[in-house]
Amino acid sequence: MKITYYLMLVIIMASGCSDDDECESKAIFKYNESNGKCLNCEGKEGYNVVDFEKVRISKNAECMDLSGINLINLLDTTNNQNSDHLMDGYNFKGSNFNKSVLNFAYIMNGNFDGADLSNLDYYYATIDAKIDNFTKLPVIEGCKIVNSDSIRCSR
């Protein structure tokens, strides 16, 4: 009798699960290295909403739409350790930099796999970061591909 009860309970619980339970969050997009797109758990393409505080703490800006943003705002400039405006180890995989600005700053050891940097405006800045075949380089002169998997930009 107890076995039958437990079997019925397991069947009821299993039938209550839906495909949505398997999808952690439809609002979170991650970079897909095989196709160079930002996809959610359902395979839909999109970008994550920018959360400045979260990026400042985690250095993770993967698949974010950073259009029109001054990238220096991703730094915690309230403490004197960041007075040189060094962004070290930031993850920008798949992010969109349309009309973004990087002034008087350095991005070192970053990851720009699949990022669209084509309309990034930068001056008095240096970028030294990893890229892949899906990365769109800035149209502004000053970037060189190094070892086929990274870029070095200075202007």
Domain ranges of the chain: 29-154
Q: How confident is the model at residue 108 (pLDDT cuts 50, 70, 90)?
A: very high
Tell me what the mean pLDDT of segment 82-94 comes to. 87
**Coil vs helix vs strand at 110:** strand
Q: Which residues contact 124 (CB under 8 A, 6 or more apart)?
A: 103, 104, 155
* Distance (Å, whole) CA 126 – CA 152: 7
Instruction: Name the token pair of 26.
Output: 């439809």
Q: Which amino acid appears at position 115 of this protein?
A: A
**Strand ranges in the chain using DSSP code E only, listed in sequence order:** 30-32, 37-39, 86-88, 101-111, 121-130, 143-146, 150-154
CA pair distance 47, 143, nearest whole angstrom: 25
The model carries a pTM of 0.81
Mean per-residue pLDDT for 79-100? Answer: 86
Element (H, E) at 144: strand 143-146
The pLDDT of residue 96 = 98
**Tens of pLDDT along 32-50?**
999 999 999 999 999 999 9
Residue 131 identity: I
Residue 45, classed as helix, strand or coil, is strand
Instruction: Report the mean per-residue pLDDT for the chain.
Output: 85
